[in-house]
């Protein structure tokens, strides 16, 4: 059998290589829900662990130096507004930069077959990462975004350039719709995007591994023409398969290296979860667009890097150009663990908004696990390192607050600290948190005699004199008699700072404003309080 | 097959490592995908070197024996299945040994009742 050895090491075509990230994301889609389920079940299993021994040392982790709040800062509500405007401005400038570079490349004939409709399609897709960066998220908005993407796909198919691959109309439409769906899931879908990105990167490593396995097999065939060195067909297949398993596993394993780097950057605050999704989505999108370029692989990669660098630089410069008010307050969210999606969404909306006012701390539970699901969190879990994520013993929980970063990331958004605890550690963790926050949101929807955990938290708040800094969110099922009984049994008579009915249409706004007012009082204790010259901003 | 349950180990600096005991399918099928996330880089390289050289050695040995192609195939397949089983069975035990050797101690585990039932 003749075999052309020169073709063995032929690399992928430039267009194939550029579409690889998108292909990786598509491969990751079916895995994402399974991995999310796996994560939730394992975290619940970890929360049921019992302490068997104290850690070796009583070493208390060093607290990151908090930024200081200067006295002449505006009110907390004004700070939140200023930070929001700063993020919107920077995102808009980055979006304009992305489009300006795209237009320059179109004018320079870097791409072939660009039509007004294909440009419109690109414009719709490229909006998604920037909107995600602004946390522009709700079901209605997601439907709107997908709807516009689908409409742009139809326009692109009907009025775009002729497909050189000879696909039918429906096939082309399906291609575009899949692209819209992939970008939605990888950037905007709250509970899946972290896993899609994680699994996408592992899938890319696996695909590269498959390619290398094919090359290795072809190389072996080339060196020892078939049947190889007298091996039987079955044995040849067996050796090929075992070698392929080694190579694919190796490349899939190596894909964890970039994931570990991303996790470290997230932990240090050089990246935020939101920015990571936006940046990775832009990378995938730009790489896919570069697939339509007429250039060879290396110039394409150079252009891709330049494009990303230009957008990143524009974003960073725009952020630096606006002042970031150095004032922050910490919010503690205590709640009745619920399985009701509506209550999850209310809490999610509140904590997302508070991240511009200061850090949010809460005890992790099965109810908000999916919504709070972060890329860094999942990478830590998948790499079997659960520090910064888990309080395993009461002794560790005593030093809990020192391990929580009070500073914002480089964009000026504060962290959401979801503290997972074992059965032995959660009470100590709550005690540590209650003493050191500026405002407390107590979600007592569904509260009653059967909620022992929340009863303990109510008693603790009353005992530590924190009820006047606490806003209660209630519904029809809340048993206020039970609440009063437990609050009174713990000592001095105190009242909640506010009770907000979660059924009212503007409950979230009212709750947010009330919490801002409480946290902004000069007499609030605390801890938060950012600023310092050495901060990341 | 051993019971599967989770435990948490801590070292002196406060690092927490999660450990899962029992048979590992990922280690049986794709050992690097099991080892790299646990940061067992040397173990991964060691497995790679040992596995590839052992397979090459086995093939060389089998060809020097007067065996039919079918027999060679059967022995080779058996060797691969045994390798998969050994890796799957002992990978998590190796991880526990590695943690203990690097100064990690067990601080949280599945309560005895659950552990027995798992």
Residue B95 pLDDT > 90, yes or no? yes
- In a shared domain, residues A305 and A335: no
- In a shared domain, residues A222 and A139: yes
3-state secondary structure of B86: helix
Residue of chain A whose alpha carbon sits nearest to that of B48: A246
Q: What is the pLDDT of residue A533?
A: 38
pLDDT tens digits for A425-458? 888 888 888 888 889 999 888 888 888 888 888 8
Q: Do B6 and A232 touch (CB under 8 A)?
A: no
Q: Do B108 and A384 touch (CB under 8 A)?
A: no
Choosing among A249, A403, A404, which should be mutated to test the B contact, i.e. which has the most B CBs within 10 A? Answer: A249
Q: What is the pLDDT of residue A310?
A: 94
Residue A70 pLDDT > 60, yes or no? no
- In a shared domain, residues A427 and A306: no
- Smallest Cα distance from A505 to chain B, Å: 43
Residue of chain B whose alpha carbon sits nearest to that of A381: B18
How large is the average pLDDT for residues B21-41? Answer: 89
Q: Do B33 and A249 touch (CB under 8 A)?
A: yes
Contacts of B112 (CB under 8 A, 6+ apart): none
Q: Do A245 and B30 touch (CB under 8 A)?
A: yes
Choosing among A232, A240, A250, A254, which should be mutated to test the B contact, i.e. which has the most B CBs within 10 A? Answer: A250
Residue A351 pLDDT > 90, yes or no? no
Residue of higher predicted confidence among A132 and A311: A311
Confidence band for B88, pLDDT divided at 50, 70 and 90: very high
Domain of A508 in residue numbering reads as 331-519
Out of A53, A238, A387, the one facing B76 most closely (by C-beta) is A238
Dihedral pair phi/psi, residue A362, rounded to 5°: -155, 155
pLDDT tens digits for A301-335? 888 899 999 999 999 999 988 888 888 889 999 98
**Pairing, β A331-335 against β A439-443:** parallel
- Alpha helices for A291-440 (secondary structure H): 297-321, 341-354, 375-382, 394-398, 426-434
Confidence band for A370, pLDDT divided at 50, 70 and 90: confident
Confidence band for A531, pLDDT divided at 50, 70 and 90: very low
Confidence band for A339, pLDDT divided at 50, 70 and 90: low
Residue of chain A whose alpha carbon sits nearest to that of B15: A387
Radius of gyration of chain B (CA): 18
Confidence band for A387, pLDDT divided at 50, 70 and 90: confident
Q: How far apart are CA A141 and CA A278, in angstroms?
A: 17
- In a shared domain, residues A178 and A307: yes
Confidence band for A392, pLDDT divided at 50, 70 and 90: confident
Residue A72 lies in a domain: no
Question: How far is CA A473 from each of CA A38, A63, A158, A203, rounded to the nearest angstrom?
Answer: 31, 32, 51, 43
Q: Name the B residues in 35-54 with CB < 8 Å from any A CB.
A: 35-39, 44, 48, 51-52
- In a shared domain, residues A22 and A103: yes
Please tell me the total count of domains within chain A: 2
Residue of chain B whose alpha carbon sits nearest to that of A260: B37
Residue A270 lies in a domain: yes
Out of B30, B51, B106, the one facing A52 most closely (by C-beta) is B106
- In a shared domain, residues A384 and A416: yes
Out of B48, B51, B109, the one facing A50 most closely (by C-beta) is B109
Q: Average per-residue pLDDT in chain A?
A: 79
Q: Bridge partners of B7?
A: B19, B109
Q: How far apart are CA A79 and CA A373, in angstroms?
A: 27
Q: How far apart are CA B15 and CA B18, in angstroms?
A: 10
3-state secondary structure of B108: strand
Strand ranges in chain B using DSSP code E only, listed in sequence order: 6-10, 16-20, 105-109
Choosing among A209, A244, A255, A387, which should be mutated to test the B contact, i.e. which has the most B CBs within 10 A? Answer: A387
Q: How far apart are CA A126 and CA A129, in angstroms?
A: 6
Q: Do A53 and B44 touch (CB under 8 A)?
A: no
Q: How far apart are CA B8 and CA A393, in angstroms?
A: 10
How far does Cα A365 stand from its chain's mean position? 18
Residue A401 pLDDT > 90, yes or no? no
- In a shared domain, residues A264 and A337: no
Q: Do B48 and A250 touch (CB under 8 A)?
A: yes
- In a shared domain, residues A315 and A456: no
Say whether residue B70 is in contact with chain A using an 8 A CB cutoff. yes
Residue of chain B whose alpha carbon sits nearest to that of A61: B14
Say whether residue B102 is in contact with chain A using an 8 A CB cutoff. no
Q: Do A253 and B32 touch (CB under 8 A)?
A: yes
ipTM of the complex: 0.81
- In a shared domain, residues A295 and A372: no
Residue A124 lies in a domain: yes
Q: What is the pLDDT of residue A1?
A: 44
Q: Do A246 and B10 touch (CB under 8 A)?
A: no
Q: Which of A280, A298, A321 is the last residue of a domain?
A: A321
A157, with CB counted inside 10 A (0-12, 13-18, 19+), is buried
- In a shared domain, residues A388 and A316: no
Residue A165 lies in a domain: yes
Residue A129 lies in a domain: yes
- In a shared domain, residues A484 and A341: yes
Dihedral pair phi/psi, residue B23, rounded to 5°: -70, 140
Residue A76 lies in a domain: no
Residue of chain B whose alpha carbon sits nearest to that of A238: B77
Q: How far apart are CA A198 and CA A28, in angstroms?
A: 8
Q: What is the pLDDT of residue A117?
A: 74
Q: Which of A263, A295, A321 is the last residue of a domain?
A: A321
Residue A419 lies in a domain: yes
Q: Do B32 and A51 touch (CB under 8 A)?
A: no
Contact yes or no for A383/A263 (Cβ under 8 A): yes
| Other beta carbons less than 10 A from residue A472's beta carbon | 26
Q: How far apart are CA A197 and CA A89, in angstroms?
A: 26
Size of interface A-B (CB pairs under 8 A): 135
Confidence band for A232, pLDDT divided at 50, 70 and 90: low
- In a shared domain, residues A297 and A400: no
Out of A50, A56, A238, the one facing B77 most closely (by C-beta) is A238
Lowest mean pLDDT among A154-158, A224-228, A248-252, A396-400: A224-228
Residue numbers in A near B98 (CB within 8 A) = none
Say whether residue B11 is in contact with chain A using an 8 A CB cutoff. yes
**Pairing, β A439-443 against β A416-421:** unpaired
Residue of chain A whose alpha carbon sits nearest to that of B84: A242
Q: How far apart are CA A338 and CA A474, in angstroms?
A: 13
Question: Helix %, strand %, coil % for chain B, to 5?
Answer: 65, 15, 25
Residue numbers in B near A231 (CB within 8 A) = 69, 72
Q: How far apart are CA A227 and CA A139, in angstroms?
A: 58
Q: Which residue has the tokens 């419109």?
A: A120
What string of DSSP letters covers B57-82?
A: HHHHHHHHS---HHHHHHHHHHHHHH
Say whether residue B32 is in contact with chain A using an 8 A CB cutoff. yes
CATH number, domain containing residue A376: 3.40.50
Lowest mean pLDDT among A123-137, A302-316, A492-506: A123-137
Residue B1 pLDDT > 50, yes or no? no
Residue A62 lies in a domain: no
Q: Which of A269, A287, A321 is the last residue of a domain?
A: A321
Contact yes or no for B22/B3 (Cβ under 8 A): yes
Q: Do A57 and B14 touch (CB under 8 A)?
A: yes
pLDDT tens digits for A141-187? 667 777 777 777 777 666 665 555 556 677 777 777 777 777 777 77
**Pairing, β A390-391 against β A416-421:** parallel
Out of B13, B17, B44, the one facing A385 most closely (by C-beta) is B17
- Smallest Cα distance from A12 to chain B, Å: 25
- Smallest Cα distance from B86 to chain A, Å: 16
């Amino acid at each position: 059998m003749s075999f052309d050895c020169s073709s063995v090491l032929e690399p992928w075509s430039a267009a194939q290589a550029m579409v690889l990230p998108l292909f990786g994301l598509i491969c990751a889609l079916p895995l994402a829900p399974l991995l999310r389920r796996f994560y939730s079940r394992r975290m619940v299993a970890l929360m049921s662990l019992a302490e068997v021994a104290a850690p070796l040392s009583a070493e208390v982790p060093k607290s990151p130096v908090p930024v200081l709040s200067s006295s002449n800062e505006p009110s907390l509500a004004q700070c939140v507004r200023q930070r929001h405007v700063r993020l919107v401005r920077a995102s808009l400038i980055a979006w304009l930069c992305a489009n300006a570079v795209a237009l320059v490349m179109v004018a320079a004939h870097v791409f072939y077959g660009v039509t007004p409709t294909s440009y419109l399609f690109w414009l719709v897709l490229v909006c998604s990462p920037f909107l995600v960066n602004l946390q522009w998220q709700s079901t209605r908005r997601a439907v709107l975004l997908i709807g516009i993407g689908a409409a742009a796909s139809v326009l692109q198919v009907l009025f775009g350039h002729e497909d050189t691959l000879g696909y039918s109309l429906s096939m082309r439409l399906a291609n575009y719709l899949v692209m819209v769906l992939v970008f939605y899931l990888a950037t905007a879908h709250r509970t899946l995007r972290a896993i899609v990105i994680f699994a996408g990167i592992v899938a890319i490593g696996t695909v590269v591994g498959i390619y290398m396995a094919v090359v290795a097999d072809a190389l072996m065939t080339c060196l020892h023409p078939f049947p190889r060195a007298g091996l039987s067909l079955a044995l040849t297949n067996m050796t090929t398969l075992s070698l392929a398993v080694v190579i694919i596993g190796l490349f899939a394993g190596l894909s964890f290296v970039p994931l570990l780097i991303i996790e470290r950057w997230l932990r240090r605050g050089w990246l935020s979860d939101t920015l990571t999704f936006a940046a990775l989505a832009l990378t995938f999108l730009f790489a896919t667009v570069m697939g339509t370029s007429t250039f060879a692989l290396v110039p394409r990669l150079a252009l891709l890097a330049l494009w990303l660098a230009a957008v990143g630089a524009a974003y960073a410069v725009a952020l630096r150009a606006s002042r970031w008010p150095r004032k922050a307050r910490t919010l503690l969210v205590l709640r009745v663990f619920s399985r009701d999606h509506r209550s999850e969404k209310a809490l999610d909306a509140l904590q997302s908004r508070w991240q511009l006012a200061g850090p949010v701390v809460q005890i992790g539970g099965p109810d908000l696990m999916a919504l709070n699901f972060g890329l860094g969190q999942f990478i830590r879990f998948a790499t079997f390192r659960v520090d910064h994520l888990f309080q395993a013993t009461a002794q560790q929980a005593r030093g809990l607050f020192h391990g929580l970063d009070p500073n914002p990331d480089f964009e000026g958004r504060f962290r959401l600290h979801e503290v997972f605890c074992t059965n032995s550690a959660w009470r100590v963790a709550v005690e540590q948190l209650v003493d050191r926050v500026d405002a407390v949101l107590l979600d007592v929807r569904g509260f009653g005699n059967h909620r022992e955990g929340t009863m303990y938290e109510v008693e603790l708040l009353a005992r530590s004199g924190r009820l006047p800094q606490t806003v209660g969110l209630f519904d029809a099922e809340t048993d206020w008699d039970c609440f009063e009984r437990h609050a009174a049994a713990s000592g001095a008579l105190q009242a909640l700072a506010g009770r907000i009915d979660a059924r009212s249409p503007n409950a979230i706004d009212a709750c947010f404003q009330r919490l801002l007012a409480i946290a902004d009082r000069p007499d609030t204790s605390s801890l938060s309080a950012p600023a310092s010259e050495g901060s990341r901003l | 097959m051993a019971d599967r349950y989770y435990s948490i180990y801590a070292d002196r600096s406060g690092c927490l490592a999660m450990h899962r005991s029992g048979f590992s399918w990922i280690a049986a099928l794709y050992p690097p995908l099991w080892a790299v996330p646990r940061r067992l880089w040397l173990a991964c390289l060691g497995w790679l070197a040992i596995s590839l050289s052992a397979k090459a050695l086995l093939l060389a040995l089998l060809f020097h024996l007067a065996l039919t192609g079918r027999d060679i195939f059967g022995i080779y397949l058996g060797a691969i299945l045994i390798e998969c089983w050994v890796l799957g069975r002992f990978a998590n035990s190796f991880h526990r040994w590695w943690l203990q050797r690097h100064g990690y101690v067990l601080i949280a585990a599945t309560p005895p009742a659950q552990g027995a039932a798992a």
